[in-house]
């Protein structure tokens, strides 16, 4: 139930997957909303604090997810998937991880460009770096913005592919990530 098997994802993998998916989409929405806040908005300082805090917690969950994935059984590919589908799935997962880590790094570079630490919900702080390059926050901000759009697009395509497998192909691709393993 908790661990993956050769046929199904376990509860830990499912929870980490859906926690990541919900967090990524929520963070995108908050980031999209945040860029239009004015200095006089009551959310001008609160929203970035929450965005940074959730981002660092999502980084922790992503590292846990990779660790879990490294030491867990990986469910086998579904038999009727072609070689191209299997390769596309592996490539998409790799791209999703690269994009999310690019967001973590660029977000960190934006938040710490002035040398301040990032306070995580006022529970603990993540040390900041001094400015590494000129216009660091602007350059990292551009990377952060464009990569966020690419990540959301890729994640949506990932979801559409899962639904296609469920509705059109009538295979267990999506079911393995949502149904219980009874």
For residue 34, the model assigns a pLDDT of 94
Rounded to the nearest 10 degrees, how much is the dihedral formed by the CA atoms of 77, 81, 83, 89? -60
- Model-level pTM greater than 0.75? yes
Higher-confidence position of 180 and 144:
144
pLDDT digits (tens, 9 = 90+) for 21-34: 999 999 999 999 99
Domain range list for the chain = 11-178
Instruction: Give CA–CA dist 121/66, Å, rounded.
Output: 24
Highest mean pLDDT among 5-14, 112-121, 141-150: 141-150
pLDDT digits (tens, 9 = 90+) for 57-112: 999 999 999 999 999 998 888 888 889 999 999 999 999 999 999 999 999 999 99
pLDDT digits (tens, 9 = 90+) for 103-143: 999 999 999 999 899 999 999 999 998 788 889 999 999 99
For residue 147, give the nearest of 97, 90, 93 by alpha carbon: 97
Report the chain's mean pLDDT, rounded to a whole number.
93
For residue 182, the model assigns a pLDDT of 58
């Amino acid at each position: 139930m908790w661990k993956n098997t050769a046929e199904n994802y376990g509860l830990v993998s499912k929870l980490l997957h859906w926690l990541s998916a919900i967090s990524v989409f929520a963070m995108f929405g908050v980031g999209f909303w945040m860029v239009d806040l004015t200095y006089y908005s009551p959310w001008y300082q609160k929203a970035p604090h929450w965005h940074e805090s959730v981002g660092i917690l999502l980084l922790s969950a992503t590292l846990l997810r990779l660790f879990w994935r490294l030491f867990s059984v990986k469910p086998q590919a579904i038999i009727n998937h072609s070689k191209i589908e299997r390769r596309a799935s592996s490539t998409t997962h790799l791209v999703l991880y690269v994009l999310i880590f690019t967001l973590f790094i660029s977000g960190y570079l934006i938040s710490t460009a002035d040398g301040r630490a990032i306070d995580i919900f006022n529970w603990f702080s993540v040390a900041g770096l001094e400015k590494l390059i000129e216009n660091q926050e602007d350059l990292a901000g551009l990377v952060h913005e464009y990569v966020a759009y690419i990540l959301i697009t890729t994640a949506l395509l990932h979801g559409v592919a899962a639904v296609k497998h469920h509705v059109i192909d009538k295979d267990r691709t999506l079911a393995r990530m949502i149904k219980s393993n009874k």
